[in-house]
Structure 1
Amino acid sequence: MAIVTHHHLHLHDLRFAAPARVRVWKGAATLKSGGVAVELGEGESFTVPSFVRFACLAHPRVSAQGMRPAVWSLALETQSSADLERAADTSKPHARRLAAAIFAQPAAHWCAERIAGDWQLSTARLRALLFAEGESLRSLVREQRVAWVLAQLARMDDAGAASAPAPAAAGFATLPALQRACQDLIGLPPGTASRAISLLSSSVAPAALPAIGAAQHSGGDAPRQPRYRPYF
């Protein structure tokens, strides 16, 4: 399930604890980090190093037939090459370690007492370490829960194969809370997030018996499912 947008979509302050590969299938996209920009055309991809904050602007394509949607996907790399690891943001080792743990279990109860116990240090020491890196536990938990939601929505899976990220699975009490977090942290409008999750949540209806006189598919095969569905 890739992301399909019929208008310019600007997502900002994206950050993942693993390398994030952005691939453009249709249209174009611009990735920005600091003062550096990378332009991606159709069929091109770029891997953002671990824990590097970046923005993604998707551009629909203008053709003779009118505006054509932009299609792009995001995948997290399970292994990081030596070059990518050298390019990663290593200035925040404690925040990066914690971000990876939160992303792996976004619905868990991430409190200072639990983390301090796992890391075998005091809660004051934990907060001091994060403060020294310019981070806070609360903001990091919220950020990585939103990152997990976006990663689920932007996977390139066959339509209907992906499951919707329910608010509880992402660590949010309600859908409005998830929507507000997506808008506040990465600029994803609430209505957009709601439509995306709603489409992923819709189950495929059981195949109905063909109407009398209806054309049959050759070989009795079911109609091919689209590789992605537009929902932005």
Structure 2
Amino acid sequence: MNWLDHAGLGLPGNACSRQDDAVSSMAAGVPNHYLVISAYTHREVVLRQLSFPYAVSVDLERQTAWCNDRSASRTLRPGRRTTIPSLTRFDLHLSANASVQVQVQPEDMENFSRQARKPMTHALARCVFLQPGRNWTRHECAALLHLSTSELSRQLFAEGECMRDTVRSSRLSKFLVDLPQLPKVNNRLAAAYGFHYQYLLEEAVYESFGVTLATLTALIRMNNNVIPWHHPLQ
């Protein structure tokens, strides 16, 4: 069995199934498979640098919205689904009172070629997404993937990625899809997503997405659409 099998990109029953503790088990549970983001305001809202370890689709529900990444700027059309490949960083622009659905795709066969170009980054990102509260040090990750720390660093560098940024991005994407069903954020809940204190999570949300945690919560928690999402290998 190679490191891809252990990472969840190969055989079922991957090594990411261990729970850390009672708190992080909440974070490691089954997330939502889609969330509705609604700008119930009189101004535009921009969520920056969104990125998921699985492909996501974005569907316009109301008004006007755009998806921008390095390769294109796309105006969302009613009834026309926009699919964003895994690990693509994109900005989501919503006009006043606009609403969109962002859905994690449990099956992303169309992105296998993309995964083949960055297999280590996909492996790491998906493991972190499933257990964001785990202590994802370089030694921890290398041991999980049956690699040395130098091999891990070398492969990530060859893919043009940074372990710290990949871990943080995956933790935040998991927090984002879980947010509609989470209780009020405190230190204990923040730790379940890999941030030792609430203020560290708040800073990460603002630095990554460009909005405060209060704004992000308002954009998402006004919607009660919660559908279970399952790992594609389960």
Provide the TM-score with structure 2 as the length reference. 0.69
1:3 aligns with 2:37: yes
Q: 1:34 aligns with which of 61, 70, 79?
A: 70
**How much has 1:41 moved relative to structure 2?**
3.5
Q: 1:70 aligns with which of 85, 95, 98?
A: 98
**How much has 1:174 moved relative to structure 2?**
2.2
Structure possessing the higher relative contact order (Cα contacts under 8 Å, 6 or more residues apart): 2
Unaligned runs of 5+ in 1: 61-68, 156-161, 201-225
How far apart, CA to CA, are the structure 2 residues paired with 1:30 and 1:72? 10
The answer to which structure has the higher helix fraction is 2
Q: 1:149 aligns with which of 175, 182, 197?
A: 175
Q: Alignment partner of 1:121: what SS?
A: coil
Aligned residue-pair number: 185
Q: Counterpart of 2:117?
A: 91
How far apart, CA to CA, are the structure 2 residues paired with 1:20 and 1:171? 23
**How much has 1:57 moved relative to structure 2?**
0.7
Q: Alignment partner of 1:149: what SS?
A: helix
The one-letter code matched in structure 1 to 2:196 is A
How far apart, CA to CA, are the structure 2 residues paired with 1:30 and 1:56? 6
Q: Deviations over 1:42-74 (max 9, x none)?
A: 4543111122222111112xxxxxxxx111221
Q: Deviations over 1:130-164 (max 9, x none)?
A: 122222222211111111122224x7xxxxxx334
- Kindly name which structure, 1 or 2, has the bigger radius of gyration based on alpha carbons: 1
How far apart, CA to CA, are the structure 2 residues paired with 1:174 and 1:44? 40
The answer to which structure has the higher strand fraction is 1
Provide the TM-score with structure 1 as the length reference. 0.70
Structure 1 residues 95, 145: CA separation in 2 closer, same or farther (over 3 Å shift)?
same
Q: Alignment partner of 2:190: what SS?
A: coil
Unaligned runs of 5+ in 2: 1-34, 226-234
| 1:1-232 map, 5 Å | 2-5=36-39, 6=41, 7-60=43-96, 69-82=97-110, 84-86=111-113, 88=114, 90-153=116-179, 162-164=181-183, 166-193=189-216, 195=218
The one-letter code matched in structure 1 to 2:72 is V
